[in-house]
Chain A
């Protein structure tokens, strides 16, 4: 007969376990415990749709503008927040809000932003893996679905934005980043092109007189594309401690200018967004109907602080 190890009847095993437990019980060096054993990815959803800003009050993103994860509405990770059955994965419809993101500021109120907030990106930790993200507009009108795989230790900014394909289609632009070591003496900027009609752009840096000092991005990039650069902050004291940048068409006319804080080691995302020309778009107001809006030219940028 095979000899079996019976746990319950074996005092040595029990005692050894007890000793081990006792020894660890009073241990002073507890290791950090990461959720999901470190299999964590981070996401930040942004409704960067431009047409909504021109709809009537009714068509703007005031009502139940949401993000669903996978297609099981009842089973989403943010369901039943605070036992109130409220769905917190909602974008704010606050008028004049520059970034409609989820998660929002910790107070849950975009009006109350403390002075330390510098366009900070807030992250929702999720288990790494495959997801289906479903964006809806007012009254849960279906807008766009995207299937994405999120990898551990990676930070994803997911922008819902008008697609140039048709006047009522949307697309999701994904900008991902990994957190590297902080590098002092420079800033890192990830440019994300979210303007459906601005065409190819490149970025260059200017000095205090407004003269070009260096090309910042080597390769021009167009809608939905990204370009990441690192710039030394040396000399920024002559420019209000900011790094001055201009977008232009490749080798051509200036489109837009901005400045980014020269904060040593910081990592930013800069969005080029809005339409460059007056554009006719449609806003879905129900799953079968839409209304037309005229979007005004408003090519602009938004600086978001990602790390450090």
Chain B
């Protein structure tokens, strides 16, 4: 290569490098300009809580550029920024801007309150928060306390009666007497074994299985194993009775004979399962639930839910084919009645076979309580290792929703007025007293956030109303429920709610009835 050519090549390279340099300078200018755009854009550390109460302070950290016309919107409302500061996190080269905001009711109570941060000409959306009402917003206006209504007569236990007045009915299984305890504290005997007379003559109550009083307090329904005077010695007898509390007349809705002989305990003998109430076979009913429309629902040993409609038709609604309630071993009379003999094996049907043979929509879980006005059934179920509250529609008999059982984390405030996913009062209580809620206008009311003296003795808490329709919980009365030294023990439970929204419940291990009252 001669010198001229060498020079030409060098020139060429220099020229190209020059162009290159110019381009690169330009490119970096572009990049710098772009960084400026990026720097002007707000950026946040999304480390704030997901839930705030009205009055709480929300702290937003990040590159907020407060001098660049910073505006923050929560729930589309421009908010007042209390103060802006800067901080440098430990071991970090960054300096963060910090803005503090007071949560107000104007931002809107509820879930998905959007957060938008505008600085300069750019605007970003940050993770939304939920705002819950302040601690004293409640359904009722004033704080409640427990006051005594009456003592429960010795040996008697309250039975199901949702009359909406607070009148309580209690059954004494030793003296076979039913008492009416009215809200003024008066106790009156309204039914005794002496009332047990029907077409077969007088009968005695050998085993009282369940009782309930209708919503209008007109009828007392009961299910019992009975003894008639002329009874065949190879038979047991079960009766479903309806006693008119006004006229004193007893109607036997169903009389079912149950042979003591294994060979006669056939599947045919256990039928018909459904039909006119006088014709079907009804054995041991363990709970009775009359509704306000003239229906009565029955729990058959926790395994089936049956219904008697006002026209006298008896049908199986739900078959709780819950794996945890079933076994392949022959059933015993403690598990289910009637026992059905399998002639080929000469063994009684297992509970698996009972659930496979008897009618009713099969659910693979069982029920804990019902709302007979909203026609919903509630079950505490284990799902994915957690306990949840499952809601089943009783009309279609299809499960509709499931709610997590959220409790308070350490140091977390009480979110009594909050969406159902944030409510932290434990929708499901797993230890006695279970405090199963009472239904009112399609909502559930019970005591949540219980304070416990020891396991199984509740001495305080917050009444809340759970609204599944609106997916929210609301504190029922301001503050906590003042217990006035009453204690809810293992078997204590809610009884009724009256027109004024006052709750009735048993306390001190079902020895007394108390009601809620405003603290004057």
Contacts and interface: CB of A to CB of B under 8 A. Distances in A.
A256 B362 contact: yes
B323 interface: yes
A28 interface: yes
Contact of A298 (B12, B34, B364, B382): B364
Contacts of A240: 393, 400-401
B352 A278 contact: yes
A28 B34 CA distance: 8
Contacts of B34: 26, 28
Contacts of A96: 382-385
A110 B421 contact: no
Nearest to B391: A240
Interface string B376-398: 00000011111000000101111
Interface residues of B, number: 40
B395 A297 contact: no
A111 B386 contact: yes
Contacts of B400: 239-240, 242, 259
B274 to A, nearest CB: 15
Contacts of A126: none
Given A110-B385, A300-B364, A294 B328 contact: yes
A258 B352 contact: no
A23 B13 CA distance: 18
B385 A97 contact: yes
Given A19-B23, A115-B404, A240-B400, A95 B13 contact: no
Interface in B408-444: 421
A94 interface: yes
Contact of B24 (A12, A22, A113): A22
A107 to B, nearest CB: 13
Interface string A281-308: 0000000000000101111100000000
B17 interface: yes
A5 interface: no
Interface string B21-36: 0011001101100100
Nearest to A117: B384
B399 A259 contact: yes
B139 interface: no
B430 to A, nearest CB: 14
Interface in A259-297: 259, 274, 277-278, 294, 296-297
A177 interface: no
A210 B361 CA distance: 12
Interface string B290-319: 000000000000000000000000000000
Q: How large is the interface on A (under 10, 10 to 19, 20 to 34, 35 or more residues)?
A: 35 or more
Interface in A237-264: 239-240, 242, 244, 246, 254, 256-259
A26 B31 contact: yes
Given A111-B386, A254-B361, A298-B323, A277 B396 contact: no
Contacts of A246: 398
B147 interface: no
A11 interface: yes
A206 interface: yes
A110 B385 CA distance: 8
Contact of A26 (B28, B323, B362, B393): B28
Contacts of A33: none
B386 A257 contact: no
Given A23-B27, A26-B31, A111-B386, A11 B12 contact: yes
B13 A297 contact: no
B385 A15 contact: no
B27 A11 contact: no
B326 interface: yes
Given A98-B383, A257-B396, A278-B352, A296 B328 contact: yes
A285 to B, nearest CB: 21
Contact of A209 (B23, B395, B404): B395
B186 interface: no
B54 to A, nearest CB: 22
B401 A18 contact: no
Contacts of B353: 278
Contacts of B20: 15, 18-19, 22
Interface of A: 11-12, 15, 18-19, 22-23, 25-26, 28, 94-99, 110-111, 113, 115, 206, 208-210, 239-240, 242, 244, 246, 254, 256-259, 274, 277-278, 294, 296-300
26 contacts: A11-B9, A12-B16, A15-B20, A18-B20, A19-B16, A19-B19, A19-B23, A22-B20, A22-B24, A26-B28, A95-B385, A96-B382, A99-B384, A113-B386, A115-B404, A115-B421, A206-B396, A209-B396, A240-B400, A242-B398, A254-B361, A257-B361, A257-B396, A259-B398, A259-B399, A296-B323
User: Nearest 7 A-B pairs (CB), nearest first?
Assistant: A210-B396, A26-B27, A26-B31, A15-B16, A240-B400, A257-B398, A22-B24
Given A19-B23, A26-B31, A296-B323, 4 more contacts: A19-B19, A22-B20, A242-B401, A277-B356
